[in-house]
Amino acid sequence: MPSTLDLGERFFGSRDVYEIFKVNKNAQEGEIKKAYYKLSLKVHPDRVSPNEKAEATEKFKVLSKIYSVLSDQDKRALYDEQGLIDDDDDPAADVKWMAMWQKFFKPITTDDIEDFEKAYVGSELERKDIKEAYLGGKGCLDYMSQYVPYMGVKSEPRIIEAVQSMIAAGEVPEYKAFTEEPKEKRNRRHRRETKELKEAKALKRKLDTRKASNSGGGSLEQQIAQRRSEREQGFNSLLDRLAAKYGNEK
């Protein structure tokens, strides 16, 4: 089985973990963590196409292993002194690579999404994304709608206007797919979005109903415990009644 250093050379072109992370040998923990975060974002299995997922997973594991070495004083010292990484020191490493990644993130809430949208819409980052999506799809608005966050029926005129200004300024070429988009193609895109919105609302209602049900009656475990307690109370009450009735009889 290839070692971590072998895989580092195969996937990242180097056996030097500092070179792979693009940090110097004296890098502090914060620098190493930031480097791991940036690199792993590029190869995260959930951020690549299905046909790239298997290789991305292996790359992700390598980066996580390197991070576990550089963030551990003893493992890092061994590597610095002898250029070695002990691949047998943690038999559960394959299980923990995603858990390590999850330390960087908190659960995403609806408020987080809304706050990001407020900051994103109209920003330079959005303009950059619009430009890249326009060039990547050669003007195809269907393509752009998949790669520009929050692009939809309502925001489409604003995004089209932004692209038109880029064309006028000579920043991007003029593609017929953009300037001469057939009306039926636009209508199909809008119908698809309407359908997806309906499905999303239906799913949200279902989740809200389930959440309300759980909050009202508690979780399944809580409901079972409550029923057990009620049965025990009823049984004890029955014993008390029997004792009161027959307790004084021989």
| pLDDT tens-digit readout, 166-199 | 999 999 999 999 999 999 999 999 998 888 888 8
Phi, psi of 218 (to 5 degrees): 80, 175
Instruction: Look over the chain and give the mean of its residue pLDDT values, rounded to a whole number.
Output: 80
Residue 102's pLDDT is what?
Answer: 64
What is the residue whose two structure tokens read 């792993």? 40
Cα→Cα distances 51→38, 46, 224, Å: 22, 12, 45
Over 60: is that where the pLDDT of 148 sits? yes
Over 70: is that where the pLDDT of 31 sits? yes
pLDDT-derived band at 134, boundaries 50, 70, 90: very high
Q: Residue 63: name the closest of 52, 53, 71, 73 by CA.
A: 71
The SS3 call for residue 35 is: helix
Q: Please, are residues 137 and 144 in contact by the beta-carbon 8 Å criterion?
A: yes
Q: Residue 70: name the closest of 123, 8, 162, 161 by CA.
A: 8
Q: Hey, what are 73's tokens?
A: 């004083």
The per-residue pLDDT for range 191-227, each reduced to its tens digit, is 988 888 888 788 778 777 776 766 554 444 455 455 5
Distance from CA of residue 90 to its chain's centroid?
26
Over 80: is that where the pLDDT of 147 sits? yes
Q: What is the residue type of 51?
A: N
What is the reported pTM?
0.47
Q: What is the mean pLDDT of residues 147-156?
A: 88
Q: What is the mean pLDDT of residues 163-168?
A: 97
More confident residue, 157 or 150: 157
Pairwise CA distance, residues 69 & 67, whole Å:
5
Over 90: is that where the pLDDT of 41 sits? no
Residue 228's pLDDT is what?
Answer: 52
Q: Is 76 exposed, middle or buried (0-12, 13-18, 19+ CB in 10 A)?
A: middle
Residue 92's pLDDT is what?
Answer: 45
Distance from CA of residue 9 to its chain's centroid?
27
The per-residue pLDDT for range 76-132, each reduced to its tens digit, is 999 999 998 887 765 445 446 666 666 665 555 667 778 888 888 999 989 999 999
